[in-house]
């Protein structure tokens, strides 16, 4: 039994975005590290983001449009970021964050409703 392409795509995008978020924002907790170290470590982590992101888009394209792929990626990215921001950086989730996310979800509804 094989999984449907959209499900494989979403799973790969979740994994990819975990790497992306750590690469882009993980170093903020280590302000004393030299910037060159932060850059090099981030590049190393980001490599794995691409290893997962590229196949996710290749597998998903056709079953989903490019606009739908990008929309899914952004929702996953923001969801992971909100959790990472709270858990790793210790910044609280605010009402403004939730309201902004709700507006983005409304945009998702626009992308996924109606004709392709």
pLDDT of the residue at 10:
97
pLDDT of the residue at 1:
73
Phi and psi at residue 91, in whole multiples of 5°?
-90, 130
Q: Which two three-digit tokens encode residue 1?
A: 């039994």
Q: What angle do CA 103, 104, 106 make, to 5 degrees?
A: 65
Residues 6+ apart with CB under 8 A from 74: 104
User: What's the pTM value of the predicted model, to 2 decimals?
Assistant: 0.85
For residue 29, give its domain range.
5-112
Number of domain units in the chain: 1
From first to last of its 116 residues, what are the pLDDT tens digits of the chain? 799 999 999 999 999 999 999 999 999 999 999 999 999 999 999 999 999 999 999 999 999 999 899 989 988 998 999 999 999 999 999 999 889 888 988 888 888 887 65
């Amino acid at each position: 039994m094989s999984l449907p392409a959209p499900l494989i795509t979403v799973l790969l995008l979740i994994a990819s975005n975990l790497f992306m978020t750590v690469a882009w924002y993980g170093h903020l907790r280590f302000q004393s590290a030299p910037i060159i170290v932060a850059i090099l470590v981030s590049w190393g982590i980001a490599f794995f983001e691409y290893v997962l992101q590229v196949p996710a888009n290749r597998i998903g394209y056709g079953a989903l449009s490019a606009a739908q792929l990008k929309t899914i990626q952004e929702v996953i990215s923001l969801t992971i970021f909100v959790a990472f921001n709270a858990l790793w950086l210790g910044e609280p989730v605010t009402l403004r964050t939730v309201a902004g996310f709700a507006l983005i979800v409304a945009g998702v509804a626009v992308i996924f409703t109606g004709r392709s």
